[in-house]
Amino acid sequence: MLAFPSTYTVGITSLGFQVVWATLAQRSDLDVRRLFTDQGDLPHQRGGGGLDLFGLSLSWELDGPVLLDLLERQRIPIWSHERRENDPLVFGGGPVLTANPEPLAPFFDAVLLGDGELLLPAFIDAVQAHRGAPRAERLDALAQVPGVYVPSLYAPRYSSDGQLLAVEPTRSGLPATVAKQTWRGNTLSHSTVITPEAAWPSIHMVEVVRSCPELCRFCLASYLTLPFRTPSLDDGLIPAVEKGLGATQRLGLLGASVTQHPQFADLLSWLDGERFEGTRVSVSSVRAATVTPQLGRILAKRGSRSLTIAIESGSERMRQVVNKKLSGEEIFAAARYAKEGGLTGLKLYGMAGLPTETDADIEATAELLLALKKATPGLRLSLGVSTFVPKAHTPFQWEGVRPEAEQRLKLLAKRLKPRGIELRPESYGWSVIQALLSRSDRRLAPVIAAVRGRHDSLGGWKSAYRELSTQASEPGSAPLPPWAEVIHGRWDPLSALPWDHLEGPLPKATLVGHHRSALELAGPALELA
């Protein structure tokens, strides 16, 4: 069974979930059923062999607790150590689990780290090769598959004062570290299901690029998925587009930076052809410096009304700190080209609470938006702004959530809303919980179990953490670290991280160097922040 921790409408819109389901469904040795929070395929008949595997695709930290509800619905023990010989093997994948699976590790039998194109078939092959063997033997065999992490075969080690020292194999013969697997083929993914019931109705999604070459220092989508990969136009992208356009006239081009595909201009020219009259084309966030008059014109011609660019900050200093290679002139040019091409809106994304940020940097963001409005009258502007949350395997993984971000979100609202600029802020409170899940180790698992039934409440999370902080820890374990240390603490780059035993694309020493470069660029503002 392959599960998604949300409704069918949301889950079927996930390209990653679609591709994993299609990969498994194509195997003759598997009978795959899907499960969502509101519905599912017809259940397996336990009398006919039962449920052998339960998989979960996880792309957002706050969806993690839903796993426990889904397991209980299938009558599967939530803790891996409580599962018996006949219980399914519970496995998971996706960016959240690849980055830092430790808070959820005690609930999984296996975690698949990285791209699924090769990893998923290798995992299933290993499961099938040891089917019928004792559960412990099956887990041992899975731990030998590159990219498959079996949490029960690794244990955290703490100092006497509760500091994490390492996560290590429990016996010899196991790999000391588990490396993320990277797909390097010429093709990426595209929709396998097109339905009007999706959150993006009847759309055919095509992955144009994977990762991003810009390496903004906070960005999980860039650092975790390196290297930057682009399928060829003739052998990869055009065939993928063609497969969907026989079923729908809606096309979505996806990727962290789609316009940086080296043949993107050629793809646009192809989509500008007469045969695509009536086809609606939309693109995900594009790099502002790559916006051209051709892009604005063709998107408007193909039914798009707006363009989305990420600026991160209106402050040039802050853009340098986060390695956002973008000038103010390029932002204004993007807005101008969007309007000249016939688009009616420009959506911008920024952040509050970035490392070394000051109130003056937030003021610069407000001033930039106001200047854009004046320079491009009639173009509808909106700013989506989130609180910086540190992510594993990025240079800013050692930086904490900054409490002043909450007031800075309010400052942006005060400056922009009265001037007719739409502001779409993400909740500061939920960013705090997101950081709790992204930075914690296995000690958070009992909190996740305890918060069930109230995980949609900020107070529920805080109460559960506080309650478990006062309880005696199990023998050999360590108490929960202070809430503020996990969420707001600036960690020593030399300290052990919960995910150090899981290898990302870049070694820790390289990330330390990128972190140091950011702080050096911060200059005197570092003293103020």
134 and 56 within one domain: yes
Residue 280 lies in a domain: yes
Residue 387 lies in a domain: no
Tell me the percentage of the chain whose pLDDT exceeds 70.
Answer: 96
Q: Is the pLDDT of residue 523 over 90?
A: no
CATH number of domain containing 250: 3.30.750
Per-residue pLDDT at 285 = 84
Q: Is the pLDDT of residue 396 over 70?
A: yes
| Per-residue pLDDT reduced to its tens digit, 426-469 | 999 999 999 999 999 999 999 999 998 888 899 999 999 999 99
Q: In which domain, by residue range, is 27 found?
A: 2-153
Residue 195 lies in a domain: yes
141 and 280 within one domain: no
Per-residue pLDDT at 528 = 42
Boundary-marking domain end, from 259, 284, 309: 284
277 and 134 within one domain: no
| Per-residue pLDDT reduced to its tens digit, 180-206 | 999 988 889 999 999 999 999 999 999
Residue 378 lies in a domain: no
* Distance between CA atoms of residues 244 and 235, nearest Å: 15
* Distance between CA atoms of residues 90 and 86, nearest Å: 12
Boundary-marking domain end, from 153, 173, 208: 153
* Distance between CA atoms of residues 468 and 447, nearest Å: 7
131 and 198 within one domain: no
214 and 95 within one domain: no
* Distance between CA atoms of residues 204 and 13, nearest Å: 10
Number of structural domains the chain divides into: 3
143 and 200 within one domain: no
66 and 146 within one domain: yes
Average per-residue pLDDT in the chain?
94
Collapsing DSSP to helix, strand or coil, 285 comes out as coil
Residue 27 lies in a domain: yes
217 and 144 within one domain: no
Boundary-marking domain end, from 153, 172, 199: 153
Range of lowest pLDDT (42-46, 48-52, 289-293): 42-46
Residue 98 lies in a domain: yes
Q: Is the pLDDT of residue 312 over 50?
A: yes
Residue 249 lies in a domain: yes
**Ranges assigned E (strand) in 26-185:** 34-35, 53-57, 89-93, 110-112, 148-149, 154-158, 164-169, 178-179
Residue with tokens 């052990």: 496
Structure confidence at residue 230 as a pLDDT band (50, 70, 90): very high
Per-residue pLDDT at 221 = 92
Residue 102 lies in a domain: yes
